[in-house]
Structure formats: structure tokens, C-alpha cells
Structure 1
């Protein structure tokens, strides 16, 4: 199938061709006809499936067919809400590429930069705005943005907006728009609150579900390093001595961790920049542009800041810290292996992260191969990990699984007993009060088996 088969107008086809789009992805094949037909849409799709074009292309076409006319004032006729600044800018760049041979104008409205540039874009007129909730509410309150003419609303990465606490802002924004409009809703996961929103916002939607979050891209080669506590930076420095790693996106759990990793890489002459929420928008965009152009070899990011990072030939994703939510792992490694290219996903795992590794393997339904030949191996590897690496079937034996599960995820006490019981435990077993003994308490009994 080609984009022409989807009844796309010639002006957009020319823009897609210029952007090197050849054939539609599965989500584009299913979503574009539904949106062109004026239907509400519920898209369950993770990053890297081509969903930006799936909603942008038909929006450009629908708005082009309902032109304002040469002398009419431009109103905002489509609003695309996204959780992060990077994603908003990326979508804006894509829409400009797709619509370059049409009369459609778009603008990105994001925080972290001067409002003046955005005001100028709004004054010149924009048919589509792509916005993060905070800055959009500011401009609506200042009466610089009017949403009364919105015909098509897109909520992109709704689950991430929920995670970031934007849902109440989103509801306030929706209240400023006409009740009758076409709504396109995209989310990689469907937690209860998102499901509730879908029921209130969408009318008889077409549902498009592509690449369940539990499935990882087959062309991505995955591996895990089990290593001693405190050796992650040393291992990262060691791995990056390999010049065949042309570009690497490194994920850390915290902003401070991202800065620390970046500093330590610079000390060993590896070009690296950090991207996270404490950086200004200009700093984040500069770091991203340097990474895309190859000036910077390593980009160190937190999960939230990494939304919107789309680098076609990214060779490696490295999980410096394993995420505690398995679906996040799938999103992270999906940043590589795009556009027909192969990719590698490397994870570092210390003893206290072993439960996270186990949960990830359960979700992706495969055992991640362990790299054993490295300078910082984990000593006294728990027996359940050993059995996982040697035999998939052994991981399902009750005798091996149950003790590990009990240790990794201890049952929670009722709140009424917290202080009473913990006090007794502290008197009878003083060693339990030591703050950093969790990982050794997890591993020693297993190693002894």
C-alpha cells in the first residue's frame, strides 16, 4: 500500500515524498482513513509506530479542504496536546514537513522559552498549534489564545500526561473548546483514569491498536550486565571505549544522576550532554540537535525528557538504571531499531534491581541474555537469576520462584502496625535498622542455595 491509496491529496503526497516517506506504517494505514472520515479515534500505540503522521496527515488534509479563504482571519482549528516540550517541537517540525506545499500553518507553544516568539507566531495566524498544557493555559488566561474555533483535538501520549500530573490541566483546556469536535486520543497504556477519560471524550471511536507494549522490536538485540554495586560508571566508560558505538542514548532514573554521568563521561574524553527537566528549553534543544548531528556521541536523559527524542540511526540505548515499570523499558529500547535499522539495548543491573529485571522479562516474555565477560561481575548471583540464564523452564519452578518473590516484594503491614512492630524489630534485631542492607539481605540467602 502507498499513501496515494489512502486518498491523500497531491500537495501532502509531495511533502511526504520530500520527507522520504515511502509506504504507510500499520497505524497510518488504519488511522488515516478513519480520521479523514471524521471519526473519533482511540489509538493504542507506543513510540516509534508512526503515530505522528497517522494523525497529522489527515488533519492537514481536512483543514486544507476547509480553507479560511485568502482574506479571512486564521483561527486555531486544531490543537495537539503533548506531555513534553521536545515532543511538541518534534511534532511541529513533522507537520511543517508534511504541509510544506499546502497553505496550513502551525506553531509550537511550549514552556521554558521566551513567550514573545510564540506570540509573534500566533499573531501571524496558525491553523494548528502543538502545545504543552502549562504554557497553553498561561496564554489562554492572558487571552492570547482562543480555542473556540477548534475542530480537531489530539491528545498524544495521554498516559504520560497522567504520570506528569497534567490531567487536570487537560480537562481545563478541553472546557475552553466547543463540545462538538473530532477527538483523536493516543496512549501507549490504558490505566483506569485514562479509560474513564476515553469514555467521556470520545463518541463511537474507531479503535486502532498497534504493537502491544509487551512486545519489543525483533531487530533490537538486548543484553544485560549483572554487576557489583557502584560499578555502573566504570562499566559505562569501559563499554564506550568501543568505537563501533557511534551514538548512545543513556537513561538514568534522576536528573542529578544524568548530570553526574555526563560529567564522568567528559572526564574520560567521551562527548556527552544531559537532557532533563531542569535544563532550559534552549539547552535541551541544543543538546538534542548536537546528538542528532553527531557532534555529541552520548545523550544522557531521564524518561520524561526523552519523550520526543527521535533519532533514526541511533545505534545503542543503555539503561544505566533499570526502570521499576516494565513498560518503560519497552519505550526506552524502542528509541533504537527504527526505520529499518538494527539496534542494541544494553542494561546494567545491580542486586537491588534484580526484581525490576525479573518483572521486565515477564512483560516481554523472554529472558534477556546476560553478558558475563566484563570487568565488574556481580558476586554471589542469586540462584533464581542463574536458573533464568541457563534454563527458561527453571524460572517457572515453584521452589526457585517463591522465595525470590517473597524477598523482592515483601508483604505490606497494615498502617496501624507500622510503628509498633518496627519498634520491636529494632530492639530485637538491631542489624535490620541499617539503611543500606537491603540488597545484601536479598542476595545472600539465594546465593547459599
Structure 2
């Protein structure tokens, strides 16, 4: 069996790995670290929680340890791009941990916080810059950072970056890097867009893959319970009150839904916190720290906010809303059963979500066990499920617009239930670069321009 001592890492890096308690590399580390140490470009296909951060951080730190150089203002040597603030922060923390015994400077920049402090830090010079694409472009536009000295570039969670609309940002950033560089790309999936990205920005990359996205964690017990949508909150409260639930991660489809779940849980005496795109960075960090430390044992999150979360000790994942994209289910339940531990994933399936469950089973090629409603769960009377509609006042007709039950405007499309998402449900991402306004042509404006 190969262990880290066989990977020929520089002595201070190997010492830091041992201090972290790591002995045996994970499959992605075993496959990715050797070619990365050789300076090869690499495409790594691996899910969150497989140890891929160390798969690129350790070879990079090995390079910096063997070839130290003085810091240069605004000119980092390494650039790591990540789609979300949480993931960027965790990557930076990993670089600090693995580089504790060498002199390495690491900066992390993302949106949602004041930019001036980040500008000052970059002006002093850093070795490693971890950034979200949107904030990096803001810094480039302000001439606060130059990418001409980059030796290694990393695109982490590349598929998620494309899903969030960062492709245009990448097309702005990548040409600014020197051609003589090493590029490491990591993704949970390998769609055609990622393959095209690799072909465009990498030179003869080594391709390694472990745990394809359709593979769920082996030690996760998966259950689904059919329940009316209006009864989900009561079922969640009863489920989380069980003694077997240690630390639980609850997923909702919308930001509003996450806040609503937290309020209901706290009314029932269960301490909970939420993370989503409407929370400020200090609020998100406070919630994550409380969850990690155990002060809060329930964290409610949306998919985008939770992307890249690496928290040990999660015993239960609850899909309060079944994801309408089956790959998200795999990402969600992968937050439990880590490091050899067992875990439980429970999905609350309303009538209009049964098709989503079938999609998940087709993707994973396994049936999710059905669990009955727990003993002692009493559903409210059917008459309480929805208040009777009020008659319109005189002069007012029935509403005929496309608003959903929450007041969100429905997106028109085909009749596939997957397209029933509302605009209000789409996750706002402050790290996404803003579109520049179109220039109006001078001269006489026609009726369309004047409007």
C-alpha cells in the first residue's frame, strides 16, 4: 500500500502532511500528485470530499518549497480559481495547513467583502492567490494584480464554474496567464464544455478519474419518505429530534425556503443556522464555524452555498426539497459518510417530486429505500393544508399572471417539471462578474432606442 512517504514530497511538506494525520493518499491524490510533481498539465475528475484539494495543493507547495523566490508586488506565482467563497476559503486554509513549515504567503479574494483590504494585501505580494473569477476580474480592472508571473494555475470545480456562468470570466482571465505554465483542472463531471476547456487551455494533459458523479458514497444509507409538501416541516422537526442525529445538513432549493426552515426549527427548540447567497460573508462564516464546532448541530443550505463544503462528522443529510438535477443529489449526500464513517441520507418526497426521485435512481443505478412516516407523526387535517380562496372584490378579476405560490414569476418554458423553477429561486452569486452595459450609438435615436 502506497503512503505519503512514497510520493517524494519535499521534507517540510511531508512533515505538514504527517502533522495533519494523513498516512495513506486517497485515490485521486495517488493518481494526480505524481504527474503534478513532474510539472504535467492535468485533468482530474473527482467528487467533493475525495481529497482533491490536497491533490493539487501538495505538488504546488512542493514546488514553492524547492524553488523559493522573493515576493513581488501584485504578482502571485500560483493562481487557484474556485466558484464560491466557501470553497475559496477552504482551499486557502488547506494551503496554510500544508505549508505551515515553509515560508509561503497565501491570499484569498472573493466578492461580498470590501475590496480595498484585498488590494493592499496583493500590493505587498503573495505566493498563492485563491480567487473567485468575478472578484479577480474586478482586481484586474483596478490594476491591483498582474498574472504575468503565474507558474501554476488551478481551475477547481470547473463544472460548477460553468454552471454559474463563469465561462466568460475564464475567457478573460486565462489569456492573461503566461503560456509557459502548468494548468491543473479538477471537476466532478466531464461534459463536453469541460473537455473543450481542457483542450483550449492545457497542453497534452494527463487525465485521471475516480468516483464518477453517478457514484454515491458506499457507506451512506439512503431513504426516501413520501410526504405532503405542507407536512415536510413537521416531519423534519421530528426527524432531527431523534437521538441518532448528531450533526445534520439540510438542503433546500431556495434561499427563502432555507430561512423559513431555520425559523420553524428554532420555534421547536432546535438550534439551526442557514447559509445561502443572501447571507453576508461574516454571517456565513459565523454559521459554518458554529456548525463545525458543534454549537449548532443543524445547518440549512442551498446547493450553491454548500458546494465544496468539507465538514467532518455530518451524520445525516436531509433533502428537504428533492433536487431537480439528479447530480446535485450525489453532491449533497456526499457530505456525510466521510473518512470511513457511516452516514444517513433522507429525502422528503412530495407528490410533484416523485419524478425527480426516479431521475436520481436512473443516474445512480440503484433504488432508494422507502421509509414510512415515523411512528408518532400526525399530519395536520387536510382542511388546514391550504386556506380557501377569497372571493375577489367587485371590480377585481381573478389573477391570471404567472406568479407562483410564493409570489415569484414563473419562467415560461416547456412542460417538463424541471423547468418549473421560478426566477426567485435562482441563487444570487455576488462573485459573478457584472455584465457591462451596452454602448448606445450616437446620433438620432429611433423609437426603440428612445424607449
TM-score norm. by structure 1 comes to: 0.82
Q: CA deviation at 1:373?
A: 4.1
Residue aligning to 2:50: 49
- Which moved further from structure 2: 71-80 or 186-195? 71-80
Alpha-carbon shift at residue 434 of structure 1 (Å) = 13
What residue number does 1:185 align with? 185
Distance in 2 between residues matched to 1:113 and 1:243, nearest whole Å:
39
Say whether the 8 Å CA contact 1:235–1:376 is kept in structure 2.
Answer: no
More helix by percentage: 1
In structure 1, the residue matched to 2:386 is none
Question: Contact 2:96–2:106 (CA<8 Å) still a contact in 1?
Answer: yes
How far, CA to CA, are the matches of 2:305 and 2:75 in structure 1?
Answer: 31
The range that moved more, 111-120 or 275-284, is 111-120
| Cα deviation code 1:39-91 (max 9, x no counterpart) | 1001111111100000000011112222115x876831110000000000000
Moved more, 173-182 or 260-269: 173-182
Number of residues of Structure 1 aligned to a counterpart in Structure 2: 382
Partner SS, residue 193 of structure 2: helix
* Mapped partners of 1:19, 1:10: distance in 2: 14
The reply on whether 1:99 has 2:113 as its aligned counterpart is: no
Other structure's SS at 1:231 match: helix
Offset of 1:340 from its aligned partner?
1.5
State whether residues 319 and 347 of structure 2, in contact with CA within 8 Å, keep that contact through their aligned partners in structure 1. yes
The 1-side partners of 2:264 and 2:73 are apart by 53
The match for 2:286 is 286
How much is the aligned-residue C-alpha RMSD, in angstroms? 2.0
Q: Deviations over 1:84-143 (max 9, x none)?
A: 000000000011000000112111111111223323432332111110011111111111
Q: Does 1:270 align with 2:245?
A: no
Unaligned runs of 5+ in 2: 381-401, 406-415, 417-451
Residue 112, structure 1, aligned to residue 119, structure 2: no
- Structure 2 Cα separation of the partners of residues 149 and 246 of structure 1: 47
- Alignment partners' CA distance in 2, 1:104 and 1:33: 22
On the 8 A contact 1:110/1:135 being kept in 2, the answer is yes
Deviations 1:221-258 (A, max 9, x none): 11111112311111001111113311111000011111
1:14 aligns with 2:15: yes
SS at match of 1:175: helix
Alignment partner, residue 237 of structure 1: 237
Distance 2:331 2:305 in 1: 13
- Runs of 4+ displaced beyond 3 Å: 71-75, 433-436
Find the counterpart in structure 1 of residue 428 from structure 2: none
Query: Which residue number corresponds to residue 370 of structure 2?
Result: 370
Aligned equivalent of 2:389: none
Are 2:58 and 1:64 aligned? Answer: no
| TM superposition shift of 1:376 | 6.2
Q: What does residue 317 of structure 2 align with? A: 317
Cα offsets for 1:284-317 (capped at 9, x unmatched): 1110011000111111100000013211111111
State how 1:261-410 maps to structure 2 within 5 Å.
261-374=261-374, 375=377
Deviation digits for residues 398-434 of structure 1, max 9, x if unmatched?
A: xxxxxxxxxxxxxxxxxxxxxxxxxxxxxxxxxxx99
TM-score (norm 2): 0.82
Is 1:28 the equivalent of 2:14? no
CA–CA distance in structure 1, aligned partners of residues 72 and 315 of structure 2: 48
Cα deviation 1:338-372 (Å, max 9, x = unaligned): 11111111111011000100010111111111111
User: Residues 434 and 328 of structure 1: is their aligned pair in 2 closer, same or farther, counting only changes over 3 Å?
Assistant: closer
Kept after mapping to 2: 8 A contact 1:288/1:309: no
Q: Is the 8 A contact 2:75 2:145 kept in 1?
A: no
Aligned to 2:41: 40
The separation in 1 between residues aligned to 2:264 and 2:75, in whole angstroms, is 49
Equivalent-residue separation in structure 2 for 1:191 and 1:280 (angstroms): 32
SS in 1 for 2:35: helix
8 A Cα contact 2:72 2:125, kept in partner:
no
In structure 2, how many angstroms separate the alpha carbons of the residues matched to 1:367 and 1:310? 27
Q: Post-superposition shift, 1:215?
A: 1.2
Match runs of 1:152-167 below 5 Å:
152-167=152-167
The change in CA–CA distance for 1:311 and 1:435 in structure 2 (over 3 A counts) is closer
State the partner residue of 2:125.
125
Q: Could you list the runs of 5+ residues in structure 1 that have no partner in the other structure?
A: 379-432, 437-441, 443-449
SS for the counterpart of 1:324 is coil
**Any conservation in 2 of the 1:326–1:356 contact (CA below 8 Å)?**
yes
Q: What is the alpha-carbon distance in structure 2 between the residues aligned to residue 376 and residue 9 of structure 1?
A: 61
